[in-house]
Amino acid sequence: MGKGENVTKTTPNFQYIPPNKFEKTRYSPQGTTVIHTFSVDNPKTMWITRMDRKMDHLTQLCARLQEAASASPYAEKKLVFGDGCQNPRLMMIGEAPGGDEEKQGRPFVGKAGKNLSAFLETIGLNREEIYISNVVKLRPTKESPKTGKAVNRPPSKDEIAFFLPFLQEEIKVVNPQWIVTLGNVPLKAVTGDAKAVIGDWHGKPFTLEDGKILFPLYHPAAIIYNRALSETYQEDLMTLKGLLEK
Ligand code: URA
């Protein structure tokens, strides 16, 4: 085996100590030591090194967010981080996790996950190919006056302001070519335009300052009881599919 070819697949939950530039010792969660040797001459290992750095950066970002949240009014809340492909063409950004997401610790699972699968099928992608996150990484809840149980509510301005810098860093690290926002909250977060409304922005591509292409869509939950909006949403999806195929 030539130099740089003994690359072992890594897992996202790890602690690592880099002894030098091209050799890394990883301690897996099971306590097993895995040595990685990377070669600068081998494009394949250079790519893996880049992905590895990205993964390290995302892991550190989650740790920083967890630390900031634990010293905030949200200390008791479970955080739901972004997940998916680390080198995606497309990053999808929702509003905030709901009950299923909070339970499973992953964005867009349960009912929202079913909507997501239909959405991805329409545009010809699958979940493994994209990266998915939310603006707010906790489930915003209020007490139901009827049942006394926690029910979902839209995220507050304070919650959005707290999580926004972390989302901005997450977008930079993941570095997708395309960003698809679902609804008003991520649209305002990504454009930085507090007056942006999805009714004006949906279904059209916009080039952001850093060259990424933003494609705003309605939030799937908004279309459930609105037939006209549902047709618009389908048209928007077909526009996005056509653009992605170019
Ligand atoms: N809706 C969102 O916006 N995000 C989720 O993770 C689930 C539902």
What's the pLDDT tens digit per position in 35-52? Answer: 444 444 555 566 666 677
Q: What is the model's pLDDT at position 43?
A: 57
| Short-list 242, 13, 58, CA closest to 167 | 58
From the CA of 144, how far away is ligand 1's center (Å)?
20
Residue nearest to atom 5 of ligand 1 (CA): 97
For 193-223, b/e burial (b = at least 16 CB within 10 A) is eeebebeebbbeeeeeeeebbbbbbbbbbbb
Q: What is the model's pLDDT at position 17?
A: 35
Residues contacting 82, CB < 8 A, separation 6+: 58, 107, 131, 132, 133, 134, 170, 174
70-117 confidence digits (pLDDT tens): 999 999 999 999 999 888 999 999 999 999 999 999 999 988 888 888
Residue, of 185 and 46, whose pLDDT is higher: 185
Band (pLDDT 50/70/90 cuts) for residue 223 is confident
Q: What is the model's pLDDT at position 226?
A: 84
Contact 220, 115 (CB under 8 A): yes
Q: What is the model's pLDDT at position 111?
A: 86
Q: Is the CB of 94 under 6 A from ligand 1?
A: yes
- The Cβ of residue 48 has, within 10 Å, a number of other Cβ atoms equal to 18
Q: Which residue has the tokens 């494609």?
A: 215
0.85 surpassed by pTM: no
* Terminal Cα-to-Cα distance of the chain (whole angstroms): 40
Q: What is the model's pLDDT at position 78?
A: 94
Q: How far is CA 145 from CA 74, 141, 142, 149, 150, in A?
A: 22, 12, 9, 8, 10
From the CA of 242, how far away is ligand 1's center (Å)?
25
- C-alpha 52/C-alpha 42 separation (Å) is 15
111-156 confidence digits (pLDDT tens): 888 888 888 999 999 998 999 999 999 999 999 999 999 999 999 9
**What percent of the chain is predicted at pLDDT more than 90?**
65
Residue, of 20 and 70, whose pLDDT is higher: 70
Ligand 1 atom, smallest distance to 185 CA: 3
From the CA of 110, how far away is ligand 1's center (Å)?
10
Ligand 1 atom, smallest distance to 134 CA: 4
What does DSSP say about strands 213-217 and 178-182: parallel, antiparallel, or unpaired?
Answer: parallel
Ligand 1 atom, smallest distance to 110 CA: 7
Q: Which two tokens stand for residue 47?
A: 């790519």
Residue, of 10 and 207, whose pLDDT is higher: 207
Q: Is the CB of 155 under 6 A from ligand 1?
A: no
- C-alpha 54/C-alpha 51 separation (Å) is 5
